[in-house]
Amino acid sequence: MSMFVPTHRRRILLDTDPGGDDAIALLWLLSLVKQGLADLVAVTTVAGNVPAHQTFNNASQLLHLAGYSQIPVGRANVDAPTPAHQATYIHGADGLGNLTATLPPATHVLATAPMAADLIIDCLSAAPGEVTIVAIGPLTNLAAAEHQSPGILKLAQEIVIMGGVFSCPGNITAQAEFNLWFDPAAAQVVFDRRRDGVVILPLDVTQHVRFKPEMAQQVAAAAPTHPLAQFLLNLVDFMVQTALTYRATAGIPSFLVHDATTLAYLFYPETLGFQRAWVQVETQGEWTSGETLLDQRAIAKPPPNAWVARQVDAEGLLMRLVADLSQVC
Ligand code: BDR
Ligand code: CA
């Protein structure tokens, strides 16, 4: 049987703060690169789940593990002030389930790496309209690129964001989702400056996408001796434990692969349903900073600035994720 294989490869810049679910998203993307369906032009790292120097090293170690060390990695400003609260209680002290000591070393050097904002500007200017930004951490780097080079975000083909929450409780405060809470002003810059081509995968849908230990076992069975297989099994073990401790999965042994939903949108859009909306971010509130607002009133509104995911076929999405991950080893 011959299968129709599309000839157009998505060119992607991944902005990330690895993070257990960031790691799953990166590995999913690399499996698509391996299958000839995507090009990963750069990885830019940002402070979020763990500090900026750690997210940089994590990204480099993950690329090394998967055999993609040649992909450039950009760094965030390691001296920039960030909220005191990070997400080590979910992702481990090193962001990757305390497993970085078991991974091959970072091959990218922080001291000489390009700044993330510069790399974003370079990649978008080199191929206007052709590079999609997948942003799965706080939006600090995207806003910095826009400040440095006003209008640059308009050169992205699309900006696909994991972040925000609209109709369910937040995961960092009662009202806010972690990525937008971490740097709400940056998120507002992105929504203001790029009035179309923004796609949001909020907590409302990602809270249903539960990756289970048996899925990791299925992937590992495809190449049991590959170091990536062991890493995946250990990472999932760790993430499932913290998810249960912090009641992220309604007591179901699993963890939420929030960030992977961005790739489902790009490569398996049939697994998601979207609403066009005008989205704003609360940047001031004492209790509500980082809250995302979507106006559902039956009155005329300003022109919409985003597509917001509202439904997900979690089972179908996870089935596709497992099938692709099985190919990365
Ligand atoms: C988001 O916050 C981070 O902890 C995860 O990596 C994900 O990007 C979910 O709210
Ligand atoms: Ca993340």
Give the pLDDT confidence of 164-181 residue by residue, as tens digits.
999 999 999 999 999 999
Active site residue 258: yes
pLDDT score of 7: 63
Considering all CA atoms of the chain, what is the largest pairwise distance in Å, rounded to the nearest integer?
Answer: 60
Atom of ligand 1 nearest to the CA of 18: 6
Three-class DSSP category at 171: coil
Q: Has residue 120 got a pLDDT over 60?
A: yes
Q: Which residue in 289, 292, 288, 266 sits closest to 279, CA to CA?
A: 292
* 124 neighbors 157 (Cβ within 8 angstroms): no
pLDDT score of 3: 64
**In angstroms, what is the span from residue 300 Cα to ligand 1's centroid?**
33
Kindly state if the Cβ of 15 falls inside 6 Å of ligand 1: no
Q: Which residue in 281, 290, 48 sits closest to 174, CA to CA?
A: 290
Q: Has residue 1 got a pLDDT over 80?
A: no
Tokens, residue 162: 């994991």
Q: Has residue 5 got a pLDDT over 70?
A: no
pLDDT score of 2: 57
**Which of 46, 161, 171, 178 gets mutated to test ligand 1 (max ligand atoms within 8 A of its CB)?**
178
pLDDT in tens, 260-279: 999 999 999 999 999 999 99
Kindly state if the Cβ of 21 falls inside 6 Å of ligand 1: yes
Tokens, residue 223: 């190449």
Cis preceding-peptide flag for 36 (omega within 30 of 0): no
227, exposed or middle or buried, with CB in 10 Å at 0-12, 13-18, 19+? middle
Query: pTM (2 decimals)?
Result: 0.96
**In angstroms, what is the span from residue 28 Cα to ligand 2's centroid?**
14
The rounded mean pLDDT for the chain is 95
Mean pLDDT of 146-175: 97
Q: Which residue in 253, 229, 223, 233 sits closest to 241, CA to CA?
A: 253
Three-class DSSP category at 300: coil
Q: Has residue 86 got a pLDDT over 90?
A: no
Kindly state if the Cβ of 45 falls inside 6 Å of ligand 1: no
Ligand 1, atom 2, residue with closest C-alpha:
178
Kindly state if the Cβ of 29 falls inside 6 Å of ligand 1: no
137, exposed or middle or buried, with CB in 10 Å at 0-12, 13-18, 19+? buried
pLDDT score of 328: 80
Q: Which helix (H) or strand (E) holds 36?
A: none
Residues at Cβ < 5 Å from ligand 2 ion = 17, 19, 22, 136-137, 259
**In angstroms, what is the span from residue 21 Cα to ligand 2's centroid?**
6
